[in-house]
Amino acid sequence: MIPDIRDYDALTRAFRWQVPAQYNIGVDVCDRWALKDPRRLAILHGHPDGRVDELTFGGLKETSDRLANVLTAHGVTRGDRVAILLPQMPEVAAGHVAIYKAGAVALPLAVLFGVDALKYRFENSGAKVVVTNAAGAAKLAQIRDALPDLKLVLSIDGPSDGAEGFHESLARAASTFTPVATSPDDPGLMIYTSGTTGQPKGALHAHRVLLGHLPGTEMPHDFFPQPGDRFWTPADWAWAGGLLDAMLPSLHHGVPIVARKFDKFDPEDAFALMARLGVRNAFIPPTALRMLRAAPHPKGRHALNLRSVASGGETLGGEAMEWGRSALGVDVNEIYGQTECNLVLCSCASIGVSRLGSMGKPAPGHVVGVLRADGTPAATGEIGQIAVKRPDPVMFIEYWKRPEATREKFIGDWMTTGDQGVIDDDGYFTFVGRDDDVITSAGYRIGPGEIEDCLIGHPAVALAAVVGKPDPVRTEVVKAFIVLKPDQKASDALAVEIQNFVRTRLSAHEYPREVSFIDAMPMTTTGKIIRRALREQA
């Protein structure tokens, strides 16, 4: 844990990594708590009808031990990949714990993946086993013949489509399991990146990755954990944001995590869930925050009792920050990272590390910089590529079966992120955009974040994204894609009004010269805007 020092400079000077010679994520987040107090609450599983199931650390240990025995009985050994294809639910946590304790590598997969996406990931990873549900089993049945490495499909909904019953298999297994002794550098987790070009790459992480996430969780959540804390995120546990920013750090600290499957994110359901289950800490991606903001103000309707909220994945913007203080009663702290090296920058308003438009400063223990193309440090205020220096426990081991891509990720000891940013005189980092998101117009380099923040400040706008559209004169022009609020109607007059709204609030070179109204914003499963799709449309 980070020391309780409420001064950033003193805090970073005092922090030291404590990585033991032997470390296993499953033992850390489950067994050690179960042995201390098996009745300690681990997971609250909320259902759409209002029911809540509770799982203790003792229950989590028994379920994961039984599953670990099932895996080893089917030939899973150290380093084998085991997939989890499920929405937020206790079985996801039990699956992760079991896989880690078996010495295997967890492969979380989003339930929204279609058969082509699944086929590529199973083929590439060589996963031997998958824990899924009936819907996932039905998808896999369509491609099972093309997956010779896949030996076992376990469905929580019972036998179907070539799957064996998850609960039936566990009932036949022994209830205790001796965890495999792993080192912090042994592989334990692989998450596929979304990939801006080419096929997704599997970012392979060691068990130490969880320890590497702790400073970047504890600081933006106001020195998490505190008595009474209870965590929730709408982010899918199949992705780094949900898994490593929320679920695993919570269990590491013995803090209950709330699980809730959302077929489609609903702001009213989210407010009600946080109030009903006493959520104190939340990681809410910017898009979800904007959707909450578009709903009626929660005060007077939902008894929220939040202590900390963090957000990351996209630039948050001032509008969302101000709304957070008013509606949620907290300062929303920004966090930054990526699948390969997550939670390396963060804010913490309670100790004065917060600046509008900035992602904050390096979390304790991480060395982050901005580099020029030749690898030299960029000057203060100069746009360059955000990079993280190794060694760092949060950093990935390699891209699975992609040694050349792994080498290309580094400039010397710096892992490049592909994100453009700047550092100011006070050491704050500001995100400008992805390498391919930065718009070059009439000699200006324009990041989308500031324009999008301004756009959603317009009373008619629910969601907004801007991209560069090729232009023979200006190289590119700024084009805005707008999702209007339900009570608004698209018109040429409204488009001009929105253009002038940005022109007067930002500058003449940043306002969108073209505006398109769309019904829905293209999003990744993690809630990030797919600007590539918008550029193609433009």
User: So where are the chain's domains?
Assistant: 24-207, 437-537
- The CATH label, of 3.40.50.12780, 2.60.40.1480, 3.40.50.2300, 3.40.50.720, for the domain at 24-207 is 3.40.50.12780
Question: What's phi and psi for 248, nearest 5 deg?
Answer: -70, -45
Residue 44 per-residue DSSP state = E
Contact criterion met (CB below 8 Å) for 395 and 213: no
CB atoms within 10 A of CB 411: 16
CA distance linking residue 204 with residue 398, whole number of Å: 6
Token pair in block for residue 322: 């101000």
CA distance linking residue 78 with residue 103, whole number of Å: 5
The architecture CATH gives domain 437-537: 2-Layer Sandwich (3.30)
Contact criterion met (CB below 8 Å) for 526 and 285: yes
CA distance linking residue 63 with residue 30, whole number of Å: 11
Burial state string for 414-425 with b = 16 or more CB within 10 A and e = fewer than 16: bbbbebbbbbee
pTM (2 decimals)?
A: 0.86
Element (H or E) spanning 361, and its range? Answer: strand 361-362
CB atoms within 10 A of CB 37: 12
CB atoms within 10 A of CB 54: 12
Q: In what order do the strands lie in the sheet with 475-484?
A: 461-471, 475-484, 514-517
- Among 62, 402, 19, CA closest to 182: 19
Token pair in block for residue 146: 């093309």
- Among 61, 55, 1, 4, CA closest to 29: 61
Q: What CA–CA distances, in Å, run from 20 to 24, 32, 133, 183, 344?
A: 10, 15, 36, 8, 21
CA distance linking residue 45 with residue 526, whole number of Å: 20
Burial state string for 436-462 with b = 16 or more CB within 10 A and e = fewer than 16: ebbbebeeeebbbbbbbbbbbbbebbb
Neighbouring-strand partners of residue 45:
53, 259
CA distance linking residue 369 with residue 158, whole number of Å: 50
Q: What CA–CA distances, in Å, run from 328 to 30, 197, 245, 292, 502?
A: 31, 38, 20, 10, 27
Q: What is the pLDDT of residue 196?
A: 43
Let me know if the fold of 24-207 is the same as that of 437-537.
no
Question: Over 398-465, what HEC string results?
Answer: EECCCHHHHHHCEECCEEEEEEEEEECCCCCEEEEEECCCCEEECCEEECHHHHHHHHCCCCCEEEEE
- Among 429, 225, 240, 230, CA closest to 346: 429
Spans in the chain with pLDDT lower than 70: 194-198, 314-315, 443-445, 525-526
Q: What is the pLDDT of residue 73?
A: 98
